[in-house]
Amino acid sequence: MTVTTSGGPHTALTSLGASNVRWRGGFWGALLERTRQVTVPSIWASLSTPDVSPGWRNFLIAAGRADGEHEGPPFLDGDLYKWLEAAVLLLETAPDAELSHLVDEIVTLLAEVQREDGYIHTPTIIAARNNQQAVALADRFNFETYNLGHLITAAVRHHRVTGSTALLDVASKAAGFLEGLAEKYPLQLAESAICPSHYMAVVDLYRATGDERHLKLAEAFVQVRDDFHGGDDNQDRIPVREQTTVAGHAVRANYLYAGLADIVAETGDGELRDVLDTLWRDVVDTKLYITGGCGALYDGASPDGYPWQREISRVHQAYGRAYQLPHTTAHNESCANIGMILWSERMLALTGSSEYADVIEQVAVNSLLSSISLDGTRYFYTNPLRQVRDLPFPLRMPGETAEHPTPEPPPSDERLRAEYLSVFCCPPNIARTLARTHEFAMSTSADALWVHLYGNAEADATLDDGRSATVRVESEQPWGERTTLTVTAATDGGVPLRLRIPAWAESATLAVNGGPAEPVEPGSYASVDRDWRIGDTIELTFPLRVRIRRGHRLAEELANQVAVTRGAVVYALESHELPAGVRLEQVALRRGADFTPVDVEIGGQRLVALDGEAVVLPTEEDEALYSDVEDGALRSIPVRLIPYFAWGNRGPSEMSVWLPLVW
């Protein structure tokens, strides 16, 4: 049987789960094993060690197993739930008795903590236990609905993997609490819809239980949001169906639109689907970094330049104007980038259009991987495209926000990933995403198996008409050009294949059983439909041309600058690669520069770097705001670019994705 992880009656595609797609080594398989062996255990070590994090201890206090006060930010509960989902995902791909026992222990404790009305929020429950004033939803920035959304999502996953209803019962009660809010206190519910993970969550719960109340609850979330007059920061200034541009907090936006796409998948709401398509195009065409990063601004006002001053609202870590894409101050919170994967996954399921898979790959290979160190233990909260020395203003630390500052931030060129962040929302989110990359690798439709993301894998699928096939995938991606698919089992002629040809793969070819290599169209799915026999092969070749990329004329910071990509991988210059006496701001590329791929090792990881030649620009040492250009001949130096995601793994450094262009 083909086991799916998502979808609805109005989707074109349904993602395959771990029972049907299994990484077998290679690039993505190695990341899964790193997540299993290093990332998930180290995050738990942080959450369960009181001297590091109060995350687990808060639940012990809330259950009455320990004494004390709540510590940490109000969304810390959700961080435990995201870690729990990551742990369950790992159990889905490989048994682990010790991890399974820990998961059971956590599930038992959550049931103890939950109030009879379904509410769970350790700050409030601990306050009540300590005879202090405790009111649910007293402040929209307490993130109760966000936390409950992640709890419900983890519970659905737990039920799917283990078959147990223990946590699913907790989730159903939590959904009942939200339902009561929608009926009796809609204003409170709308005000508290910060980072609305609960939209996706209750649709997941509907899919797991078949209870129509949960789908109606998701639709009620939209209604109470539309009836509430808020601001752009939380995407609730105007009703969702009237929105044409994406503004405000990028995590909240991406989570909201992913949740709305889930509703469309179940209801077939064509109007809402068109809105989501318009909004997604607004991000991808005007606001998405080349790395897939989302949310350019630390703080500002949105919409910038809106003619009616009374409508302008504060924004935080937000989407800005079209083409407003700063480099050094780029925010690009790791959770926002993950949110773009969530949103794009759902749009891919609705449409079967390869552009959504292209963006999933763009984010996954660049900004998702940049958010975690190569050894799997340290994390970025923000993901800038440039890091320089001696900034005259501090930038946020990896785990610092406006609400939770870190005193005395280090010099700008010493901002490195951290093992534990004062705002810990990103690390478990990164972990749960890396633990499920197989889920955005392949899908099925009524008549085919679709391959979106290439890696070493084994996959099997059965169509509604009984045809089935098992396919082994061996891929050199993202470093090499060849991918081979081999049919290892087939019944009734096997299943047709739809193979994604990435938009970057110019001159890509496809050959069946050693036959002639035929050209295939980039930015599409190649259809291969035949009676399959065991041993049949398909060979895909995706030329990895090094491309020198420029930006849109309205992207001010990109003027006369270029970035280098090879396949899906974005490259950067890190100061570790510069010769003595040459500074980052002096390095420029010549038009038509040639680069040669070379195998390198950084942080114990095998990567492909690019070796070429750069130009050293003269610079003045004075610090005047404006000064004359220095005369003198330009000299050339050898230069090595490394994958963007690998920067910051060798100690303090400067780094830039975009470099000046010399014509």
pLDDT beyond 60 at 3: no
Which pLDDT score, from 0 to 100, does residue 619 have?
Answer: 78
Q: Which of 116, 134, 137, 139 lies closest to 69 in space, CA to CA? A: 134
Q: Is 169 helix (H, G, I), strand (E, B) or coil?
A: helix
- In tens, the pLDDT along 214-243 reads 999 999 999 999 999 888 889 998 999 999
What share of the chain has pLDDT > 70, as a percent?
Answer: 94
The two structure tokens encoding residue 544 = 């990895």
Which pLDDT score, from 0 to 100, does residue 307 have?
Answer: 62
Position 2 confidence tier, pLDDT thresholds 50, 70, 90: very low
Which pLDDT score, from 0 to 100, does residue 320 have?
Answer: 87
CA distance to 312, 320, 322, 339, 582, per residue, from 303 (Å): 6, 7, 10, 21, 41
Strand partners, 14: 444
Which pLDDT score, from 0 to 100, does residue 618 have?
Answer: 86
- Cβ atoms of 453 and 431 within 8 Å: the answer is no
Which pLDDT score, from 0 to 100, does residue 395 have?
Answer: 78
Higher pLDDT, residue 141 or 368: 368
Instruction: Output DSSP code: residue 563.
Output: E
Q: What is the pTM of this model?
A: 0.96
Q: Phi/psi at 645 (nearest 5 deg)?
A: -65, -15
Identify the weakest region by mean pLDDT among 55-59, 77-81, 121-125, 191-195: 191-195
Q: Which of 269, 290, 316 lies closest to 564 in space, CA to CA? A: 290
Q: How far apart are the first and last CA of the chain?
A: 58
The two structure tokens encoding residue 269 = 């709401």
pLDDT beyond 80 at 658: yes
Q: For the chain, how many residues are written?
A: 663
On the question of a cis peptide bond just before residue 478, with omega within 30 degrees of 0, the verdict is yes
Higher pLDDT, residue 329 or 7: 329
Position 596 confidence tier, pLDDT thresholds 50, 70, 90: very high
Distance in angstroms (rounded) separating the CA atoms of residues 345 and 457:
19
Distance in angstroms (rounded) separating the CA atoms of residues 283 and 293:
10
CA atoms within 13 A on the CB side of 222: 22
Higher pLDDT, residue 312 or 185: 185
Higher pLDDT, residue 544 or 304: 544
Residues 6+ apart with CB under 8 A from 95: none
- Cβ atoms of 421 and 379 within 8 Å: the answer is yes
Distance in angstroms (rounded) separating the CA atoms of residues 425 and 428:
7
Which pLDDT score, from 0 to 100, does residue 312 have?
Answer: 67
Give the torsion through C-alpha atoms of 605, 609, 614, 618, to 10 deg.
Answer: -20
Q: Is 111 helix (H, G, I), strand (E, B) or coil?
A: helix
Position 402 confidence tier, pLDDT thresholds 50, 70, 90: low
Q: Phi/psi at 471 (nearest 5 deg)?
A: -125, 135
CA-derived radius of gyration, the chain: 25
What share of the chain has pLDDT > 90, as a percent?
Answer: 86
The two structure tokens encoding residue 154 = 């983890």
- In tens, the pLDDT along 410-425 reads 676 678 999 999 899 9
pLDDT beyond 90 at 624: no
Residues 6+ apart with CB under 8 A from 83: 40, 43, 44, 47, 428, 431, 432
Distance in angstroms (rounded) separating the CA atoms of residues 437 and 31:
9
pLDDT beyond 80 at 598: yes
Q: What is the mean pLDDT of the chain?
A: 94
- Cβ atoms of 645 and 605 within 8 Å: the answer is no
Mean pLDDT of 151-178: 98
Strand partners, 574: 655
Mean pLDDT of 357-386: 97
CA atoms within 13 A on the CB side of 190: 23
What angle is formed at CA 428 by the lines to CA 424 and CA 430, rounded to 5 degrees? 110
Instruction: List the domain boundaries for the chain.
Output: 441-541, 546-662
- Cβ atoms of 147 and 58 within 8 Å: the answer is no
- In tens, the pLDDT along 235-294 reads 998 999 999 999 999 999 999 999 999 999 999 999 999 999 999 999 999 999 999 999
- In tens, the pLDDT along 490-514 reads 999 999 999 999 999 999 999 999 9
Identify the weakest region by mean pLDDT among 182-191, 358-367, 407-416, 550-559: 407-416
* 60-87 b/e (C-beta count within 10 Å ≥ 16 → b): bbbbeeeeeebbbbbbbbbbbbbbbbbb
On the question of a cis peptide bond just before residue 579, with omega within 30 degrees of 0, the verdict is no
Position 393 confidence tier, pLDDT thresholds 50, 70, 90: confident
- Cβ atoms of 614 and 588 within 8 Å: the answer is yes
pLDDT beyond 90 at 305: no
Instruction: Output DSSP code: residue 596.
Output: E
Strands, E assignment, 304-440? 313-319, 386-387
Which ranges of 323-450 would DSSP assign to H, the alpha helix? 334-351, 354-362, 369-370, 426-434
